[in-house]
Structure 1
């Protein structure tokens, strides 16, 4: 595996005058090949030429100033090259902490050393891969130059370019079919072929057998579809090891620290079951040690420990409150349960600190210290662990005289025998615990059966009470519906009485019924429509015309009402003009003298007819004046145009 690691020597991606210069370190199969100084342009050329598996950085700010530039940089990478940020994704940590996990030290003020370290830890699986594109790729085949206006050979020139786009699109489609990829195609026809062909391939960019190219007439652009948000995926799928402290009870406290003592998880809840605790710990990492703050590990904590096959830890004597305060002083917590769980985890970590230091001294750089420490704690010899992680058999020790070799083998044999005995004792202990667990399960089943029998009568009573409560709720709901229907019935009865009153007036020949409109607004018209209704031939009465609107007058004229009687002060001249334009008779209250009673009224038919006839005479005069104004306007327009023609002719 080939890895590139970079670090800025000078300059910045945000500067337009001092572009960045990088220290580039190459690591291939775990061996550092060298470090060189490159510019950003040179780095792009090397990436395209050598196509490394990983380009490792300690911060994305070193290669892009914002998200747009980051997308452009990722788009320019070779399809098989991953961009890895070794310091983490959403939550980052320093490069020094990351390197310490692999027992690597470096000069933090030397960009070349930082580039080497970045490449080495990325080759060992540290960091997260930066993912900015979906598993969909867009391929666009288009013209590289425009045909322009051209001359005598313009058609032949355009046909040549569009034919080239067509030919290139067919070649790409053949490659996609040959690779067995699913795609969609959209074509834009042009003279002699296509001006643009777009493919949407349902596959990541590295699986698409097409690359961006530019020719004399045709260009091909291959780009992945951008995600709405940058996503980070761990480069190594192995979860981190944890030291877990648990405080069981009504409120369960959970705490977890990593093998360097850094706090990873701290929470508490009153509603957590065993499966909830296991799921939360599984999301946080892989518990290596499960600890308790009391000398005898509680049964519930033991069950969770078995679920992860973790190493148990209990203090020699139960931790006092003062000791818990001392252990948890650097951390913040919300209650005593979190404090107890955290103190158990920190006490377990403190008991292993010296052992971890000795392991770090004996392990050379380039090994995952967490994995080494976890395997050693589980009983594996350090030499075997290192050989296994390096991928080679354990190195043979220098041959020694036979007299010295024999005692060494004897000691090893004794150790193996002791471990075998320990395994046998642990197996017997496991069998005893399993038998005890089965007995407890049987006892629990007997107690549950007794509880079910004792609760049967109570459950029947509860069900009966629940049915009665449901029926009472149904009755109350029906009563509420009945009250609503009664209210609606009263409203409809009042509306019917008003309509009957209007109908009686309509039967009379001497009087004409009136419908009262509260004001000249659309809300008042809608209320009258819903209450009594408005039909063609109706005569409406409005007590005042304040707040009138042009749209309301036009709507009333459109309904075909016979007339609108206005009370109060004389109507606005603009209102009169709009009524005449809409051919809606607008009558004064003095001319009709209506008799208004609530929402309805009546007027003498003879007086109403005379007022409407007078309005129609005035309407004829209004139409004549309009026609005269129109003719005068046309005459003026004609004279103006004629004068313009005479001036042009002169």
Structure 2
């Protein structure tokens, strides 16, 4: 197998002035033939001339700046050459990690060393193949030149070109039939033949025996149909070995590490059966060791171990919670079950680290360390594993005595070879047809099952949707009912208070009081909602703390007859604001109110006397304010006269 590995020395595919220069390593059958420096153009010529089996890179960014350029690069590759990214596909890792799996070390700052390492790991099966085309190939046969305008021989010239296109298309069609390939053909007729013939072949480009070419009158373009998204397929189908930790129970925790201690899988679920766990692990890789965090392996873990024929591991004594926290400190997990499973896998890996180091020291570069370690853990000796993986040369067979072979005409041999090929192809076609019929039956069976499942699922979804709608309506009506009940209780209490106030108003000896919680706008709003405040009401507030000028003016604006203040004597500032607003402010000691909840009563005679006293004080306050105003005017007048006298003098 011929493998090419490349790495950029200088330049970049994104630069227009400094185009990339590559280090190219040629490798054939595991032997490095040489490393040289090439430009991108020379690399394309070498690939077209030598047609290697694999072109290995550590990053697609070294050969293409975007997906369009990558498609163009892959289109230019020989059909038999695979483009392999050795560092992985969707989830990439460093070239150093990939090389470490094969016990290969290199200088990361030397492009020639990186090219050699890339070729080596690709020849050993590392990396993924980059697939950008469908299993369909387009072949377009068209004119190489346009007829244009001409003279007397123009028609003959046009017939010659269109006839050449038709002839080339027939040759290609014969070759496709000979190769047994299915195809669709679309022809564009023109004067004297065809101007364009397009074939859509149901086969990948490397299986189509046609290549792009250009002649004097006709050109052929062969191209694979591009995928919407680049796809990656592992170069090696062998799954990676895993060290698995399991924590069974109502919630099952699963953790899986590769043989280098890297976390591959960490999950937990309450609804996982044994088959679900086996399927989850099978998707992640091949379990080599099944570990538990307790000394006696649980029976459910043992069953899963037997399903994979894995090596069991249990600690000498059950892991403590502190030990689990120490083991799992570098990792993040969501619950205790994932922690226990991860600690079991890490404890198993820690117990094998020294053995893995010794194996890596004794194994030469170029061997798959995971496979070597797995076989050694299975009980094979290291020397036997290395000899088996390296492969001893087969003993030469004794040469058979030469027999006289009757000479046959070359034509007869060719006919026999073609007959044998036809027989093999017919047998292959029959096998494919049998497989196709079997798959058709399987598809029909699955479609019937799918229709039944969809019907049942549809009925269940509709029923669940109706139930959800009804539940939502019931919940909404329940909330409305609760709101109406609260509103009813609130109105009932308000009605009782209003009835109490009305009974007191009927009496001539007592005057009703409405109680404010506080002398604030919130307190006024609360009393307004519960009992109501109308003109002529007498209000009572237990304490005048937190009062404001605005709330006093608001109460005066509603026409409140008086405000009785309990507790300590009113603040002089509050009294001044009340006199400015014209709101009688009465101390509770003067009227002795009887308060019961939100309502109360006061003797009418005491209230009238207190209001008369307040009004007398209000008259005195107004006289003082008028006197102050006159004094102020007199002072202003005298000041103005003094200024005039000084100006006149």
Aligned to 1:27: 27
1:334-483 equivalences in 2 (<5 Å): 334-392=334-392
2:129 match: secondary structure: strand
1:53-132 alignment, distance < 5 Å: 53-132=53-132
Partner deviation per Cα, 1:320-340 (whole Å, 9 max, x = no partner): 000000000000000000000
1:318-337 aligned within 5 A: 318-337=318-337
Q: Does 1:249 align with 2:285?
A: no
Task: Find the aligned partners of 1:215 and 1:14 in 2 and give their Cα distance.
Answer: 34
* Alpha-carbon shift at residue 33 of structure 1 (Å): 0.8
Counterpart in 2 of 1:263?
263
Q: CA offset at residue 387 of structure 1?
A: 1.1
CA 1:368–1:298: 2 relative to 1, 3 Å: same
* Distance of 2:15 and 2:155 partners within structure 1: 47
Q: State the partner residue of 1:162.
A: 162
State the aligned residue count: 399
What is the alpha-carbon distance in structure 2 between the residues aligned to residue 64 and residue 197 of structure 1? Answer: 32
Aligned match of 1:490: none
**1: CA distance, partners of 2:394 / 2:384:** 6
1:521 alignment counterpart = none
* d(CA) in 1 for partners of 2:393, 2:183: 49
Deviations 1:479-538 (A, max 9, x none): xxxxxxxxxxxxxxxxxxxxxxxxxxxxxxxxxxxxxxxxxxxxxxxxxxxxxxxxxxxx
Equivalent residue number for residue 187 of structure 2: 187
Shift of 1:154: 1.2
1:143 corresponds in structure 2 to: 143
Q: Secondary structure at the match of 2:70?
A: helix
Provide, for residues 245-303 of structure 1, a one-character-per-residue CA deviation record: whole Å limited to 9, x for no partner.
Answer: 00000000000000000000000000000000000000000000000000000000000
- C-alpha separation in 1, matches of 2:96 and 2:152: 70
1:41 aligns with 2:46: no
Is 1:387–1:393's contact at 8 Å kept on the other side of the alignment? no
* Structure 2 CA distance for partners of 1:394 and 1:349, relative to 1, 3 Å: farther
State the secondary structure of the residue aligned to 2:98.
helix
Normalising by structure 2, what TM-score? Answer: 0.61
The aligned counterpart of 2:283 is: 283
Structure-2 separation of matches of 1:83 and 1:391: 28
Inter-partner Cα distance in structure 2 for 1:40 and 1:150:
42
Distance 2:305 2:192 in 1: 74
Superposed CA deviations along residues 157-211 of structure 1, whole A, max 9, x for unmatched, are 1111101100100000000011011111000000111000000000111111100
Q: CA deviation at 1:394?
A: 12
Q: Which has the larger radius of gyration?
A: 2
Query: What SS does the corresponding residue of 1:41 show, helix, strand or coil?
Result: helix
- Tell whether the 8 Å contact from 1:384 to 1:394 is kept in structure 2 after alignment: no
Q: 1: distance between equivalents of 2:330 and 2:362?
A: 30
Q: Counterpart of 1:568?
A: none
Q: Distance in 1 between matches of 2:82 and 2:279?
A: 31
For 2:403, the equivalent position in structure 1 comes to: none
Question: Counterparts of 1:158 and 1:322 in 2: how far apart (Å)?
Answer: 88
Q: 1:201 and 1:324, CA in 2 relative to 1: closer, same or farther beyond 3 A?
A: same
Q: Distance in 2 between matches of 1:238 and 1:27?
A: 23
**C-alpha distance after superposition, 1:454-483 (max 9, x if no partner):** xxxxxxxxxxxxxxxx9xx99xx9xxxxxx
The 1-side partners of 2:333 and 2:151 are apart by 81
Q: Aligned to 2:366, what secondary structure does the other structure show? A: coil
Partner Cα separation in structure 2 for residue 65 and residue 126 of structure 1: 24
Unaligned 5+ segments in structure 1 are 396-469, 478-650
Distance in 2 between the 1:283 and 1:150 partners?
67
Cα deviation for residue 151 of structure 1 reads: 1.9
SS state at 1:37 partner: strand
Separation in structure 1 between the aligned mates of residue 114 and residue 256 of structure 2, nearest angstrom:
31
Deviation at 1:389, TM superposition (A): 1.1
Query: Take 1:10 and 1:215, find their aligned partners in 2: how far apart are those partners?
Result: 38
Q: Deviations for 1:551-581, whole angstroms, at most 9, x for unmatched residues?
A: xxxxxxxxxxxxxxxxxxxxxxxxxxxxxxx
What is the deviation of 1:388? 1.1
Which segments of 5 or more consecutive residues in structure 2 lack a partner in the other structure?
396-462, 471-649
Is the contact between residue 133 and residue 226 of structure 1 (CA under 8 Å) also seen in structure 2? yes
Q: Which residue of 2 aligns with 1:597?
A: none
Offset of residue 153 of structure 1: 1.5
Deviations, residues 351-401 of structure 1 (Å, cap 9, x unaligned): 000000000000000000000000000000111111111122699xxxxxx
TM-score by length of structure 1 reads 0.61
Q: Give the equivalent residue in structure 2 for 1:176.
A: 176
Q: Structure 2: how far apart are the matches of 1:85 and 1:392?
A: 31
CA contact 1:247–1:340 (8 Å) conserved in 2: yes
Check conservation: 1:296, 1:314, Cα contact below 8 A. yes
Instruction: Tell me the alpha carbon deviations over residues 581-629 of structure 1, each in whole angstroms, 9 at most, x when there is no partner.
Output: xxxxxxxxxxxxxxxxxxxxxxxxxxxxxxxxxxxxxxxxxxxxxxxxx
Q: Displaced runs of 4+ in structure 1, greater than 3 A?
A: none
Equivalence map 1:560-639=2 (5 Å): none
